[in-house]
Amino acid sequence: MSQGPVLILVAHADDTEFFAGGTVARFVAEGREVYEVIATNNERGSFELDRETLIADSRDREAREAARILGKKEIFFLGYPDGFLGDTPLNEIREKFMRFIRRLKPTTVMTFDPWAPFEPHPDHRAVAFAAMEAAGFCHLPLYHPEHRQEGLAPHLVPELYYFAKRPANANRVVDITPYIEKKIDALCAHDSQMKMTLDDIRLSLQATGADPGLFTMLDRDNYRPVLEMFTRGWAQKVGATKGYEYGEEFRVEGAMDLIREIMG
């Protein structure tokens, strides 16, 4: 793993905790500064039609609490409408991401995998491609030369961590065994979204005609047991591939990878 600052580029307030919360906690424990940019205003994370503003405000607070638990140094909100990043010009999002990269000079950028199969969320797809391009071109001075007027020099990103539900060609599993509790604690900080997650599971069970007895465990006011069961179960499955108790998987690409391939 690299040393130096880490920059996470995501769509929603809870994305990092779901996909990389344990790895972020590990980076912080290793002395790395971790920053996060959240692209949307998170206003659609509810099944209740009249809660857009309330949800957006609470999710900002929840994101800051999760950041405190994991030890992130600072988080930033771009405020784009939730669910509509796919309608935003790609180069607009890319420029904003590139600005943060040039400002913070990360040695690692973490974001969604643009090539992950079966990703249904347009916000995730939009962030993935904008982040990939921003990280890939931010060292070239003719991309947004106006940044120099703000003192933002070009910067080459040595390493990218791509995550997803099913990352394409995953090539690294990070041992998060000492940090699994922090990952779960940080997820639980997103109270509104964990309740929505249980509501979503309930709807899925109803739609598939599942045994009604399964519903007894879905108490939205006591979601931690279910969340912990799913989080530990998935992390155990991933970790077992490398002999770890708990793990998170990524596709990691580095600036030297192509050179190594060419030189054999």
Is the pLDDT assigned to residue 263 strictly greater than 70? Answer: no
State yes or no: pLDDT of 87 exceeds 90.
yes
Measured in residues, the chain has a length of 264
Distance of CA 61 to the CA centre of its chain: 17
Distance CA(103)–CA(17), nearest Å, equals 24
CATH number of the domain to which 173 belongs: 3.40.50.10320
Q: Give the domain range for residue 202.
A: 6-263
**Would you say residue 179 has pLDDT above 60?**
yes
pLDDT score of 262 more than 80: no
DSSP state of 234: H
What pLDDT does residue 95 have? 99
How many whole angstroms separate alpha carbon 246 and alpha carbon 237? Answer: 8
Q: What is the mean pLDDT of residues 64-73?
A: 98
Alpha carbons 2 and 34: distance in angstroms, whole number: 13
**So what's the pLDDT on residue 178?**
99
Whole-prediction pTM value? 0.92
- Which sign, positive or negative, has the C-alpha torsion 169, 99, 102, 176? negative
- Pick the range with the lowest mean pLDDT from 2-6, 66-70, 198-202, 238-242: 198-202
Query: How many domains does the chain contain in total?
Result: 1
pLDDT at 214 over 90: no
On whether residue 78 sits in a domain, the answer given is: yes
22 band by pLDDT with thresholds 50, 70 and 90: very high
Angle at which helix 15-29 crosses helix 52-70, to 10 degrees, equals 20
Judged against a pLDDT cut of 90, whether residue 23 lies above it is answered with: yes
Residue 215 confidence (pLDDT) = 61
3-state secondary structure of 162: strand
Q: How far from chain centre, in Å, is Cα 136? A: 19
Evaluate whether 162 touches 251 at the Cβ level (below 8 Å): yes
Residue 1 placed within a domain = no
